[in-house]
Structure 1
């Protein structure tokens, strides 16, 4: 069965590109544009979440807390145009909440770097 990945970014162009990369890697992408989807128990149906750190309606910390409240057990890959320090801090925050943050990518995201962070899904 094809793994489902939630692609969450408030930039329509970025979500379109990421969705296509995810599809080309053999996964099934579901695209969302705001953090409200994270408050739903339905996020547990996903095998992974690609999460933009700064959504128009949620900070990184708020988004990660919403994901943790839903007891999400899949992989999380953080994505942002911010500096590495901000991304590393967000990874640590996610892990402190018990989330499986597999790493981060800076925009623009390459297929190769995303594939490397999603390899754990294939086991």
Structure 2
């Protein structure tokens, strides 16, 4: 069982990922902004983090850098983005990137 943090300002996307994680036997925490993500990752050590790059209060790369400094620093952090350009430019601190809309195969692979 993995401890999973889902960070996305699209509540539908975040809630769906959280539900999928629970159905597959994992613990999930869902937040919708960067400040809540940094706070949650400081309070608990997560194994896997899905992190949207576009958040209402900050950008996901800044959140990723902050998370890497704390309890969840060794988590596998996956950037979620709808832009190929962001993937090509690279993002410091992320382990991998997934394009939106998410494919179930990618989600299941990461949760396995």
**TM-score of the aligned structures, taking structure 2 as reference length:** 0.82
- Verify: 1:59 aligned to 2:59, yes or no: yes
1:104 and 2:97 matched: yes
After TM superposition, which residue ranges in structure 1, 4 or more long, deviate above 4 angstroms?
Answer: none
Give 1:30 shift: 0.8
- For the structure 1 residues 110 and 57, does the alpha-carbon distance in structure 2 shift closer, same or farther, using more than 3 Å as the test? same
**Structure 1: stretches of 5+ with no match in the other structure:** 96-100
Determine the structure 2 residue equivalent to 1:17: 16
**2:82 aligned partner:** 81
Q: Larger % of helix: which?
A: 1
Q: Distance in 2 between matches of 1:66 and 1:46?
A: 14
Do the aligned residues in 1 keep the contact of 2:64 with 2:77 (CA within 8 Å)? no
Q: Which runs of 5+ in 2 are unaligned?
A: none
1:98 equivalent in structure 2: none
Residue 116 (structure 1) aligns with: 109
Q: Does the Cα contact within 8 Å between 1:10 and 1:56 map onto a contact in 2? A: yes
SS in structure 1 at match of 2:93: helix
